[in-house]
Structure 1
């Protein structure tokens, strides 16, 4: 059995967060169960982009503060690192409020700017992963609970994609991002390279709608914690009301026999699930209807079966972030406007995820529109 602690923290008041964290960790045996004196402990938050904490794009700094405190109390040496999706590491750390907390709490910021080649554990034979991620004595995963237009939810397992350094993320999106099942397998194989010792989820204010960068903050008032990241994801999705058929990572974990996917083998402690569930959690835009469709038809009807990103000229400042974020380089600027090559576009929505102005919309293909009307 796996244990996932669920505790209530209604707001980011430092004392309230600290008390909820203490209760959650006590249910798991305390931080001493996961950290030994003198160990270098890498804390890996979500540092997607340089956004203010109230935008709910990144892990909130008060959650980070509470974890650093517990690591130091257990005698560990806290390090805080990630590789942002867009922007420099220091800039993201400052804007998100995490750099200030790291300085105040006596921790150390560690940028993921050096990669180490390691053999893969399955389909992907080689991966380049951040050196600090591999070399730390302990790893604490500190994700934000958010929706994700490609994978439906980003939480514990998806947060570990940040172990891939900088521009290499685009290469993996290009290699695996056109197929959600394949990308889910990639995420799980990254997870298996170095499973976190502990995962703690910032669900105090989550993100719903068109996450992970352009959704809306949604108060949930929750802290989740557990030793198995897949099991933590399963409980997080349950509390947000996300149906299993939309959870690509969890479905892939079941198919591959990766421990943690079976809800019947997960015990929750602390707040009862019925008291923690959030009603009407708004999911991301349905971007395809390819379930169960033969491959040869998917390829022929792809333009009609999927949604695609579209520019909003009124909000676009032509900053170039979407051009840099696009793995297949399907975006260009012509006559002062964005232009998309939809034959090259792989529908990964990295452009929407990393647009600093939220100025990219979504347009459904004809068959996708018809299916939505039929379901209504």
Structure 2
């Protein structure tokens, strides 16, 4: 049986700090030992101001850091960002300024250790600092995700995969969303965070988790010792089945969570939260899959008026399906695995997922 704490909150620091400290106490924070090394893992996806809802808000990172310092432990802020240098992300997000004057180390995940996570992946390289920490505190941002529907507690730990190893894993799992979800659960199990606090005060809806998403005020801070139970509770807050987020399903199958969740606090009911439309990536006889991928299934597209040809999308694309053609970019939809990493990393919000009219009509006829 797992407890999930839900509290109404805002980014007003004195009250936010009080709520955070109380939640940390309730979730076992007092077990943090003096002189222990504590990794604080926020979502630091890309350089972005806090009001874009792309990164964990700096005041939540500050409150947790001060809690760790009060316990006499040594806090370290770490992540492996997808876009921009780690220092640039820290500065633009406001995290570095918020923590100025505090005795804290900022250290990008760089070195990895090999972990046997079991079938079907076996050996996975995971950030050594995350694996060797005495305590790891997981601080995800509540956001939509074009591939996984939502990025929450479990998905946030994909940031413990260092650098360009992340797109490599996207490529290895390919168009199989279920396979990628299984990988995320295996990483969660290996990292095993002690506490997860989700920043849902200013969340992101629409085509997240990057700059194409839309900020949405929810005013909630949620926490648990069990990230899977927390993620399932977020789904219930939105009035959707927990299995909508595939990582929840595999977490239950692997015995990491169950339906016997105790909610401590008032869970809001939010039924108009804009989730991304997740459509089938392939369907029908295999011999037609090439045609489907080129003309029917959902795919990334570029708004040329917003594109700056910065190159982030084609550098990060795990399938090498994006090329620059003069003043535009073009997609090879045969190669594209629909991981939507390009949408995630685009610093200008120029990319989005679209389904062709023919694709919509075909799905409607086939009732997919």
When normalised by structure 1's length, the TM-score is 0.91
Instruction: Pick from 215, 218, 223 the counterpart of residue 217 of structure 1.
Output: 215
For 1:22, the equivalent position in structure 2 comes to 21
Instruction: Pick from 79, 82, 85 the counterpart of residue 85 of structure 1.
Output: 82
Separation of aligned partners in 2, 1:68 and 1:193: 23
CA contact (8 A) 1:39 1:76 kept: yes
Separation of aligned partners in 1, 2:325 and 2:220: 46
For 1:351, the equivalent position in structure 2 comes to 342
Is 1:282 aligned to 2:279, yes or no? no
Distance 1:12 1:177, change over 3 A: farther
Q: Which sections of structure 2, spanning at least 5 residues, go unmatched?
A: none
Q: Which sections of structure 1, spanning at least 5 residues, go unmatched?
A: none
CA contact (8 A) 1:118 1:129 kept: yes
Deviations 1:336-369 (A, max 9, x none): 2101111000011100111000011332145541
Distance 1:298 1:354, change over 3 A: farther
Distance 1:215 1:122, change over 3 A: same
CA contact (8 A) 2:144 2:206 kept: yes
Separation of aligned partners in 2, 1:295 and 1:143: 39
CA contact (8 A) 2:80 2:160 kept: yes
Separation of aligned partners in 1, 2:45 and 2:358: 33
Deviation at 1:27, TM superposition (A): 3.4
Deviation at 1:57, TM superposition (A): 0.1
When normalised by structure 2's length, the TM-score is 0.93
SS at match of 2:107: strand
Separation of aligned partners in 1, 2:284 and 2:325: 36
Separation of aligned partners in 2, 1:314 and 1:61: 32
SS at match of 1:99: helix
Matched pairs, number: 364
Deviation at 1:115, TM superposition (A): 1.8
For 2:229, the equivalent position in structure 1 comes to 231
CA contact (8 A) 1:7 1:23 kept: no
Separation of aligned partners in 2, 1:321 and 1:208: 23
Separation of aligned partners in 2, 1:253 and 1:131: 23
Separation of aligned partners in 2, 1:233 and 1:62: 22
Superposed CA RMSD? 2.0
SS at match of 1:103: coil
Separation of aligned partners in 2, 1:359 and 1:161: 24
Instruction: Pick from 257, 263, 268 the counterpart of residue 268 of structure 1.
Output: 263
